Amino acid sequence: MKLISWNVNGIRACLGRNFAESFTAFDADIICLQEVKAEQQQADFAPPGYHVHWNAAQKKGYSGTAVFTRTQPLRVSTGIGIAEHDLEGRVITLDFPDFTLVNVYTPNSRDGLVRLDYRMAWEDAFRAYVCELDKLKPVLICGDLNVAHREIDLARPAPNRRNPGFTDEERGKLTELLGAGFVDTFRYFYPDRAQAYSWWSYRAAARERNVGWRIDYWLCSQRFASRLAGAAILTDVFGSDHCPVSLEVRA
C-alpha cells in the first residue's frame, strides 16, 4: 500500500501547477493533503476511483485538510472533539479495518511566537486524541507538523532557534508524541540522513539551494513498524513550497 502526504499550500493554486498530473503519477492508495485553503466544491478536482473526504476551515481560504482514498473507510470524522481546536479544518480521521489514519495540519506558532501558547494546548489535546485511538488499533499520523524535530531536520539550526517551528517547546512536544508510542517513519529508515527537507521558503532561491526544513511527517504506532516497507521525501514533485512525503506499507 502506498500513501502520500502533501501540504499543497492552496489546492486551487496547486491545480494550476500540474497537481492533477502529480496526483495521477503518485498512483497511491491514500493521498492526504493539508492547507487546502478551500471548500470541496471550490477545488474542482474529483479524480476517478477515489473517495473524497474534506474538512474545510470556517475561515474562508484558510487551513483545511482533505484525503483521497481508493478504499472507502469504515468511518470518517473531522476534528478532535474539542470545539476550540476544531474550527480550522486541521484533522481528518479515517478508520480502516487494521489501522486508523489521522491527517493533520498542526497550527503554526507564527512570527513572534504569538500563537505558541495555543500551539502547546493543541499539542497536548492532539496527543491525547491519537493515544486514545491507539488503544483500539494501530494509528498512522501524517501531515505538516510545523516543527523540525532535530538539528539535522533543518539546514540552519543555529540562526533559527526560537523561530516558529524550531523552538524547544515545539520540538519537545514532538518528542512527547514519539515517546507516547509513535515512530517517525523517515528516521526509522534513515536515522542520520542530512539535507532531507520537505519545505523551503519561497525567498532567496531556498529550494534550489536546498536550504530547507523537514516538517512533514508520517508517524506510526510502534507496533505497526514491522509493516513499514519504505519512506521517502519526493523532492522532485513541485507545485507548493512543500513537497510530498510518502510511505510504503506491507499488507
Catalytic residues: 105, 144
| One-letter identity of residue 209 | R
Asked if 19 and 90 touch (Cβ cutoff 8 Å), the reply is no
Cell 516558529 belongs to residue: 164
| One-letter identity of residue 176 | E
Q: DSSP states of 173-237 as a string?
A: HHHHHHHTTEEEHHHHH-TT--S--SEE-SGGGTTTTT-EE--EEEEEEGGGGGGEEEEEE-TT-
Phi and psi torsions of 214, nearest 5°: -100, 100
SS3 category, 167: coil
Task: Give the H/E segment covering residue 117.
Answer: helix 116-134
d(CA 147, CA 127): 15
Asked if 229 and 250 touch (Cβ cutoff 8 Å), the reply is yes
